[in-house]
């Protein structure tokens, strides 16, 4: 077993005994209190199992595990105590997500078996997460590539929405910001089922008929149905379903952490969507924010304020003029790309993916593309692009 175990106890003799008894079986690190243990967790690779005493001065085992699960969520937690009672066990399980609850004195054999079980649990959790993340990454790439080819304008808007959602999440220091960015990136997925002419009218600001408005308003539910059964995308799908809801329509009473994240994600999407509409229609950043701040029943004021004081732009990006043959994945179009017969092929603001690159090459060989054209190069690519 190569995984490392962290033992936390305020008694040096106890830690020395753990090392002496278990060093031939496990790689062991120790800490004398909860604060030092949190520092050790932050400075090292994730620990497979963390074993902590309950009664420690300053920060007890439950308080320690409550913080440790935030910085090392996959670590399996085992609590050791000589003060076993039902209330302590319930608190430990609820606040610290404890895997095992062992009482002192605990035999080396019992502790060894508990740690081995914890390591197996850690391996199961991390293996499942890695599989799901790889599957999720490929699925998201496929969905966004499909959207970019089906309707470049919809994809271009999704890219802008992701940037806005990231700005809000970063400014508010929101945990799990990735899910809000992902919801923004996939928020236009339902548009693949709508007529291209309708989407073009919508994204270019043309007036819609009553029937067209109703049809366009259906895309969040379409996106929800497309995404809800994909592993780990259920909450994202719910955010997308509710992206047009007003702030006043959400419940004000306390609710579960999962429900809170979904509602917050939907509120972020609402702010991002309407901010994007205002700025794309020509409103300066301060004017767009001021207008949205005045409509407190429509938008969450805290999220609007988190848009910041400056235009949401790509700071430190470099501009370059390229041809189809020299465009690279990761670049972003700095102008609309047209075919030689005048049709919009890719919108300004769209990122170049593998699918986009292949589509450009195919169009260049068939109908032809107006080139050269401007692209923006992100900071991480500047050292590799000539």
Burial of 364 (0-12, 13-18, 19+ CB in 10 A): middle
DSSP character string of 342-354 = S-EEE-TT-B--H
Question: What residue ranges of the chain are covered by domains with CATH 3.40.50.2300?
Answer: 4-126
Q: What pLDDT was estimated at residue 258?
A: 61
DSSP assigned state of 335:
S
Q: What pLDDT was estimated at residue 229?
A: 84
pLDDT exceeds 80 at position 47: yes
Residue predicted with more confidence, 358 or 105:
358
pLDDT exceeds 80 at position 243: yes
To the nearest 10°, report the CA torsion of 148, 154, 158, 161. 160
Residue 46 near residue 72 (C-beta atoms within 8 A): yes
From CA 198, how far away is CA 326, in angstroms rounded? 33
Q: Show the DSSP H helices in the chain as ranges.
A: 12-22, 34-43, 61-71, 86-96, 108-150, 152-171, 177-186, 196-203, 210-216, 219-227, 234-241, 257-280, 285-293, 301-305, 354-365
**Count of C-beta atoms within a 10 Å radius of residue 180:** 26
Q: What pLDDT was estimated at residue 90?
A: 62
pLDDT tens-digit map of 182-193: 999 899 989 888
Q: What pLDDT was estimated at residue 156?
A: 75
Question: What residue ranges of the chain are covered by domains with CATH 1.10.3210.10?
Answer: 151-313
To the nearest 10°, report the CA torsion of 50, 51, 54, 58. -50
CATH annotation of 4-126:
3.40.50.2300
Contacts by 162-166, CB closer than 8 A, 24 or more apart: 163/312, 163/314, 164/271, 164/272, 164/275, 164/276, 164/307, 164/312, 165/268, 165/269, 165/272
pLDDT tens-digit map of 137-166: 677 777 777 777 667 777 778 888 988 999
Among the listed residues 251, 249, 250, 243, the one whose alpha carbon sits nearest the alpha carbon of residue 268: 243
pLDDT exceeds 70 at position 1: no
Looking at 264-278, 298-312, 326-340, 348-362, which range is the least confident one?
348-362
Q: For the CA atoms of the chain, what is the radius of gyration?
A: 26
CATH annotation of 151-313:
1.10.3210.10
Q: What pLDDT was estimated at residue 158?
A: 85
DSSP character string of 34-45 = HHHHHHHHHHSS
Read off the pLDDT of each residue in 96-105 and give the average, rounded to a whole number: 78
pLDDT-derived band at 310, boundaries 50, 70, 90: confident
φ, ψ dihedrals at 176, nearest 5°:
65, 35
Among the listed residues 26, 29, 30, the one whose alpha carbon sits nearest the alpha carbon of residue 2: 26
Distance of CA 279 to the CA centre of its chain: 25
Q: What pLDDT was estimated at residue 366?
A: 94
Q: What pLDDT was estimated at residue 302?
A: 94
């Amino acid at each position: 077993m190569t995984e490392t175990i962290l033992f936390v106890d305020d008694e040096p003799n106890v830690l020395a005994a753990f090392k002496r008894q278990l060093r031939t079986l496990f790689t062991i690190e120790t800490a004398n209190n909860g604060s030092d243990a949190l520092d050790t967790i932050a400075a090292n690779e994730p620990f497979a199992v963390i074993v902590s005493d309950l009664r420690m001065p300053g920060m007890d085992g439950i308080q320690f595990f409550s913080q440790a699960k935030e910085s090392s969520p996959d670590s399996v937690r085992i609590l050791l105590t000589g003060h076993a009672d039902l209330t302590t066990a319930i608190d430990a399980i609820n606040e610290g997500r404890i895997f095992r609850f062992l009482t002192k004195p605990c035999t080396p054999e019992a502790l060894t078996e508990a740690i081995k079980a914890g390591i197996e649990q850690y391996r199961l959790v991390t293996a499942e997460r890695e599989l799901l993340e790889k599957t999720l990454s490929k699925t998201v790439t496929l969905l966004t590539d499909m959207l970019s080819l089906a309707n470049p304008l919809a994809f271009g808007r999704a890219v802008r929405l992701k940037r806005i959602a990231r700005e809000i999440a970063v400014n508010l220091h929101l945990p799990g910001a990735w899910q809000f960015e992902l919801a923004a990136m996939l928020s236009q997925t339902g548009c693949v089922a709508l007529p291209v002419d309708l989407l073009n009218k919508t994204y270019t600001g043309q007036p819609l008929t009553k029937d067209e408005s109703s049809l366009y308003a259906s895309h969040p539910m379409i996106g929800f149905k497309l995404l809800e059964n994909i592993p780990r995308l259920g909450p994202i799908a719910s955010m997308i379903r509710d992206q047009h809801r007003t702030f006043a329509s959400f419940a004000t009473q306390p609710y579960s952490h999962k429900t809170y994240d979904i509602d917050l994600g939907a509120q972020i999407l609402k702010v991002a969507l309407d901010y994007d509409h205002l700025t794309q229609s020509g409103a300066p950043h301060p004017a767009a924010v001021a207008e949205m701040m005045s409509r407190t029943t429509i938008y969450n004021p805290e999220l609007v304020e988190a848009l910041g004081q400056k235009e949401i732009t790509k700071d430190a990006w470099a501009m370059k003029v390229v041809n189809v043959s020299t465009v690279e994945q990761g670049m972003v179009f700095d102008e609309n790309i047209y075919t030689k017969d005048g049709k919009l092929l890719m919108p300004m603001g769209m990122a170049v993916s593998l699918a986009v690159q292949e589509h450009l090459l195919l169009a260049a060989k068939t109908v032809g593309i107006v080139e050269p054209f401007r692209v923006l190069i992100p900071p991480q690519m500047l050292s590799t692009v000539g």
